[in-house]
Structure 1
Amino acid sequence: MQHDSASRIVEALRVWVASAPPGARLPSNRALVAQYGASPVTVQKAMRQLMALGIVESRPGVGTFVRTVRTARPADFGWQTAALGTPRSRASGLSATQRASVPDAIQLHSGYPARELLPERLVRSALTRVARSEAALTRSPSAGLPELQAWFANQVATSAPPGVAPPSARDPLVIAGSQSGLSSIFRALVGPGQPLIIESPTYWGAILAAEQAGVVLIPVPSGPDGPDPDEIERAFAATGARAFYAQPNFANPTGAQWSPETGLAVLDIVRSRGAFLIEDDWAHDLGIDADPHPLVGHDRDGHVIYLRSLTKSVSPALRVAAVIARGPARDRILADRAGETMYVSGLLQAAALDVVTQPGWTTHLRTMRHQLRNRRDLLLQSLRDGAPQLDVQQVPPGGLNLWVRLPDGTDVHNLVRECETRGLIIAPGSEWFPAEPSGPFIRLNYSGEDPARYPEAGHVLGAALRDTH
């Protein structure tokens, strides 16, 4: 027999089907055997291939037909509108900083340091050791491993001046990342409908956590030296707030560090108002030109609720952090955490403790400081060369980011889209404002991958600005 090929029959019938109406009947297998001079087995094989492609459908006892296109009815999610009600948060999706990596693009939007900045050898060795320990099979205490609690407490004790008793080893609560800690603090200590004073701009995740807790945000402007204490006093007086969320050291997004005078003045105001200062020390290990000076070290009576995270300096895979609180406030936060997560993986806690107690940890921090300085300075110079119309209002003494003011009138989101079409991913600054932005800003992370492309990023940003402004 000639042309005994199923693929040839398939190709010929695909052409026929393309011009036939849906539901048209194909020639019988006997007719196809005669038409193509093929064996019955070859024709049957060809028909199975066509059915697998979804082109034809068989109706037993009747024949084979051109598949009728059945348009799926779109799912109706309208019922969820009534079930969910009005959203508690203005967030409509992931933050720009959480976007997945885009192949070959220059990534300046992320909130995490590049892998080569992390203590990879220490982390891998720690995970290997703790996998063979009891921590791999046992439940952790709700407040955390006692040894890790003691380590966090000792870190704060080093910043306490003479005459101020530092937190005890039981005061820290180990949590799965500082974001979960913020949520618990806002729920436990502020509560729905209650005011929370907050710096502007500030960490977008704190804004999100507060809104999801139903907290009413009271923004106060914050500059290179922190907020004006008089503004904080007025906000407390006007709102009756009992809490102030702030980042005194290397703030996200600005990188600003409060002056010692500002920090102590704010702490005095918080004490006089019988309020809490929620001190987010997320960048404690990320100092470049300065060291952190946590205000919790000056706290005598439990006014400071302190957050310290290891996510950025150890590994984003080990989401381990701590809340240090004293008195009934600690008990309320612990109860909220226990109700949500019960406890943090002892395996991750043990691995984090192993890393930060190794002799190589201090060496890693010194190396990371040097690398961050080089990357920060390279990105700054790249912006000066490629996009001189930008205004970096402060060289950050620590952290991971540059806070960049755009020319007045710039459509930030249009600029972000234009940069993306040119292979540069950046984050719009609007996410870091608890109310309307005070101007057009973007945030650029200088700790990401491939700093050799920073000069290219500067030129792309400059060209995009010229074309969109």
Structure 2
Amino acid sequence: MSQDSTARITTALRTWIAAAPPGSQLPSNRALVAEYEASPVTVQKAMRRLIEAGLVESRPGVGTFVRAIRPARPADYGWQTAALGTPQARVSMLSSTQRSVAPDAIGLHSGYPASDLLPERAVRAAIVRAARSSAAITRSPVTGMPELQDWFAHELAAAAPAGITPPTARDVLIISGSQSGLSSIFRAVVGTGRPLVIESPTYWGAMLAAEQAGVTLVPVPSGPHGPDPDEVERALERTGARAFYAQPTFANPTGGQWPSATSDAILEIVRRRGAFLIEDDWAHDLAIDADPRPLAAHDDDGHVIYLRSLTKSVSPALRVAAVIARGPARERVLTDRAAESMYVSGLLQAAALDVVTQPAWRTHLRGLRGQLRSRRDLLLDSVREHAPTAHIDTTPAGGLNLWARLPDGTDAGLVVRRAESRGLIIAAGDEWFPAEPSGPFVRLNYSSEDPRRFADAGRVLGEVLAGIGG
């Protein structure tokens, strides 16, 4: 029998099955051979096709039966409501910065730079080399690859003034992205139910990590020049908090950088009060008009727990970061990380180390500074020309974002929705506030979109604001 014969028998049996009630027994193979004057092999092939299609089921020793098809119905997950109970964290949704959008939209909402701002060739070559090394098949130490630990330690030590004992490789813990580091620090150093002083506005991911760790947030207002040190001290004293989370360098979302006087005052406060400063140096490699000045480089008493990531400057695919801490705090963070993830992929660590130790890395950073400046200024000019009521208080000296205040009384969520309907995706500023927003804001990322579209973005934003009276 040919393949055509098998197909003919299969089609005939499908017609028979469609008319038969579920559970009906098909005639035996011997009867089917006689009915269709086919060979046993041809009938067996037809039966296998029907079984693979899920139309019939074979019961050894009994026979072959029409399968009962379960009718399609909406999935009901209502039972999980009782099993899961009330969520412990207030933040239960993804950030607007993590949304996927239409390919033709103008995306200024993202938290990451475009791929053409990354050292793409160096990353690809490093991954290939790492895949050929022992890192591809061996377990990494729980504290991280020693060579990568040493690199992070030297980077911070290079900024240390005379008289300060710099960190060593042992003080460095390699982690899988800064988000996991924040979670561990908040659990291990702050503790469930304990207060954490935090800038407002600040990075939404830090608030999410803190809430999931059961930490109570205590906001203090912060602007382009950081928080008022007196406000920080009052918050520490009033709440009994023993930790302050901050981004002194190119803060997300404002782009602000603390002046030296503020940095010195905050360090003095945490020393005097026996507290920790959790310094998130997320934009260390994203400088434009000023160089980063890590506060951790000025501390050798273990008051500053320092966090630095390579995710946004090397590649989002290489989620490698470091926590630098000293004393018992380091041991507590290490214990939490070991329980959470055991260790970071040696393959990713080897690739990241390869990139940042190549001579081309410094060349890339110099070029990146110029590209970020060009994009920042172009978007800034476009907003000021086409959407003058969106007030940008300061030009960020680094980072990836512009922080724009809308006219008082403006519904930032409505602005975002109307802009999206016209193909412009931006992020409402509400999610960067640990309490009520101090006003209507939007955050605009100048690194993720083609800068040739910035003029269109400015026009859309201006027209939306004009349309709602902004």
Partner of 1:43 in structure 2?
Answer: none
Partner of 1:467 in structure 2?
Answer: 467
Given that 2:281 and 2:308 are in contact with CA atoms closer than 8 Å, whether structure 1 keeps it comes out as yes
SS of aligned partner of 1:94: coil
Partner of 1:412 in structure 2?
Answer: 412
Partner of 1:92 in structure 2?
Answer: 92
Alignment-mate amino acid for residue 267 of structure 2: L
Q: C-alpha separation between the residues in 1 aligned to 2:91 and 2:297?
A: 35
Shift of 1:78: 2.4
Alignment-mate amino acid for residue 464 of structure 2: A
For 1:181-208, what per-residue CA distance to the aligned partner results, in whole angstroms no more than 9, with x for missing partners? 0000000011111000000000000000
Partner of 1:302 in structure 2?
Answer: 302
Given that 2:91 and 2:211 are in contact with CA atoms closer than 8 Å, whether structure 1 keeps it comes out as no
Q: C-alpha separation between the residues in 1 aligned to 2:355 and 2:345?
A: 16
SS of aligned partner of 1:257: coil
Q: Does 1:338 align with 2:338?
A: yes
Shift of 1:412: 1.1
Shift of 1:385: 1.2
Partner of 1:438 in structure 2?
Answer: 438
Q: C-alpha separation between the residues in 1 aligned to 2:75 and 2:129?
A: 50
Partner of 1:359 in structure 2?
Answer: 359
Q: C-alpha separation between the residues in 1 aligned to 2:204 and 2:316?
A: 18
Partner of 2:348 in structure 1?
Answer: 348
Shift of 1:73: 4.2
Shift of 1:77: 2.3
Shift of 1:100: 1.1
Q: C-alpha separation between the residues in 1 aligned to 2:355 and 2:216?
A: 39
Given that 2:307 and 2:322 are in contact with CA atoms closer than 8 Å, whether structure 1 keeps it comes out as yes
Q: C-alpha separation between the residues in 1 aligned to 2:79 and 2:71?
A: 22
Q: C-alpha separation between the residues in 2 aligned to 1:70 and 1:125?
A: 51
SS of aligned partner of 1:170: helix
Partner of 2:184 in structure 1?
Answer: 184
Q: C-alpha separation between the residues in 2 aligned to 1:401 and 1:102?
A: 21
Alignment-mate amino acid for residue 303 of structure 1: H
For residues 149-160 of structure 1, the aligned pairs below 5 Å read: 149-160=149-160
Shift of 1:71: 7.1
For residues 55-454 of structure 1, the aligned pairs below 5 Å read: 72-454=72-454
Alignment-mate amino acid for residue 200 of structure 1: S
Q: C-alpha separation between the residues in 2 aligned to 1:207 and 1:270?
A: 21
Q: C-alpha separation between the residues in 2 aligned to 1:271 and 1:307?
A: 19
Q: C-alpha separation between the residues in 1 aligned to 2:92 and 2:161?
A: 45
Q: C-alpha separation between the residues in 2 aligned to 1:430 and 1:170?
A: 39
Which has the higher mean CA deviation after the structures are superposed, 405-414 or 249-258?
A: 405-414
SS of aligned partner of 1:368: helix
Given that 2:130 and 2:351 are in contact with CA atoms closer than 8 Å, whether structure 1 keeps it comes out as yes
Alignment-mate amino acid for residue 259 of structure 1: P
Alignment-mate amino acid for residue 172 of structure 2: P
Q: C-alpha separation between the residues in 1 aligned to 2:258 and 2:157?
A: 20
SS of aligned partner of 1:448: coil
Identity of paired residues, percent?
A: 72
Q: C-alpha separation between the residues in 1 aligned to 2:163 and 2:385?
A: 51
Q: C-alpha separation between the residues in 2 aligned to 1:350 and 1:71?
A: 51
Shift of 1:234: 0.3
What root-mean-square deviation, in Å, do the aligned CA atoms of Structure 1 and Structure 2 show? 2.0
Which has the higher mean CA deviation after the structures are superposed, 388-397 or 92-101?
A: 92-101
SS of aligned partner of 2:323: strand
SS of aligned partner of 2:368: helix
Q: C-alpha separation between the residues in 2 aligned to 1:127 and 1:92?
A: 35
Alignment-mate amino acid for residue 387 of structure 1: A
Alignment-mate amino acid for residue 112 of structure 2: Y
For 1:421-446, what per-residue CA distance to the aligned partner results, in whole angstroms no more than 9, with x for missing partners? 10000011011000010000000000
Q: C-alpha separation between the residues in 1 aligned to 2:271 and 2:79?
A: 49
Partner of 1:63 in structure 2?
Answer: none
* TM-score, with length taken from structure 2: 0.85
Q: C-alpha separation between the residues in 2 aligned to 1:71 and 1:154?
A: 64
Partner of 1:16 in structure 2?
Answer: none
Q: C-alpha separation between the residues in 1 aligned to 2:374 and 2:275?
A: 40
* TM-score, with length taken from structure 1: 0.85
Shift of 1:72: 4.2
Q: C-alpha separation between the residues in 2 aligned to 1:258 and 1:392?
A: 18
Q: C-alpha separation between the residues in 1 aligned to 2:300 and 2:231?
A: 24
Q: C-alpha separation between the residues in 2 aligned to 1:418 and 1:180?
A: 34
Q: C-alpha separation between the residues in 2 aligned to 1:119 and 1:415?
A: 35
Alignment-mate amino acid for residue 93 of structure 2: G
